Amino acid sequence: MIDVFVAPENKKPEEKDMSVFSSFCKSPKGIRFQTQKDNETIILFLRSHFVKNISWIIFSLFLLVLPIIISLSLPSFGLDFLFSPSANRFIAVFTLFYYLMLLSYLFINFLHWFYNVFIVTTERIVDIDYSDIVIHNIAITNLSHIEDVNYTQSGFISTLVNYGNVFVQTAGNERNFEALAVPRPREATHIIGDLLGKGHSNSGPKR
């Protein structure tokens, strides 16, 4: 797994407790990432808003009760012979395999949400993209390489729940960074912009 949630040795007074399921946390307490320096402080921790999980959760609930619905419907189609003793063993094995696949689907979707995180520190931005259990990508850029930061927020649900996409534009040939469907995108943009302002004495915050 990606080594993100490791308790730091020294906790600063301004740091805040962070829930395991937090999607937006300023100065979080109790987390570190693999390459974090001793004097480097996490300013902002982001992941997609939990509401983005609702679609696959509802679909999983439907798959959970689907075998029950099918078993109750079989007599109506004259297929009650499938419950004969000779078929019970096959049905039991198939049902076990089905729910193992469903559990894997739930597990992978949860990990994809949980470990896709966007971290802003006093020195850089760290974007962790998690694909599956064995594949993940970590992209890092220093604050001094950032040219602009902005956000987009469109649609009724995103406005109602207050989530959106934060885009960080870097200089030269470096990749641009995206924090998708994160809570409070305007505040996140301002936090990053303020850090840029502090790091560049000749310019104000870029938003």
Question: At residue 114, what are phi and psi to the nearest 5 degrees?
Answer: -65, -40
Residues 166 and 140 in one domain: yes
Residues 105 and 140 in one domain: no
Per-residue pLDDT at 75: 66
Q: Is residue 206 part of a domain?
A: no
Could you tell me which residues come within 8 angstroms of residue 139 by beta carbon, excluding any fewer than 6 positions away? 126, 127, 129, 175, 177
Q: Which of 89, 111, 133 is the last residue of a domain?
A: 111
Per-residue pLDDT at 171: 83
Q: CA-CA distance, 206 to 174, in Å (whole number)?
A: 18
DSSP assignment letter at 176? P
Per-residue pLDDT at 12: 53
Q: Residue-wise pLDDT tens for the chain (207 aa)? A: 445 554 444 555 455 667 788 999 999 987 888 788 888 999 999 999 999 999 999 999 999 999 888 877 766 655 555 566 666 777 788 889 999 999 999 999 999 999 999 999 999 999 998 876 666 788 899 999 999 999 999 889 999 999 999 999 998 777 889 999 999 999 999 999 999 875 443 333 333
Q: Which of 111, 139, 156 is the last residue of a domain?
A: 111
Residues 40 and 120 in one domain: yes
Residues 41 and 87 in one domain: no
DSSP assignment letter at 203? S
Q: How many CB atoms lie within 10 A of CB 94?
A: 12
Residues 74 and 102 in one domain: yes
Note down the domain range covering 126: 16-48+116-199
Residues 75 and 141 in one domain: no
Q: Is residue 8 part of a domain?
A: no
What is the number of domains present in the chain? 2
Residues 120 and 172 in one domain: yes
Extract the tokens encoding 105.
């689907």
Residues 138 and 100 in one domain: no
Element (H, E) at 25: strand 24-26
Q: CA-CA distance, 86 to 143, in Å (whole number)?
A: 67
Per-residue pLDDT at 26: 92
Helix (H, G, I), strand (E, B) or coil at 190: helix
Residues 89 and 156 in one domain: no
Residues 129 and 27 in one domain: yes
Cα-based distances in Å from 57 to 27, 61, 109, 121: 30, 6, 9, 32
Contact predicate 163/51, CB 8 Å:
yes
Q: Which of 93, 111, 129 is the last residue of a domain?
A: 111
Count how many residues are written for the chain.
207
Question: Residue 163 is which amino acid?
Answer: Y
Q: Is residue 120 part of a domain?
A: yes
Residues 142 and 185 in one domain: yes
Per-residue pLDDT at 54: 95
Closest among 180, 188, 186, 43 to 123, alpha carbons compared: 43
Residues 76 and 124 in one domain: no
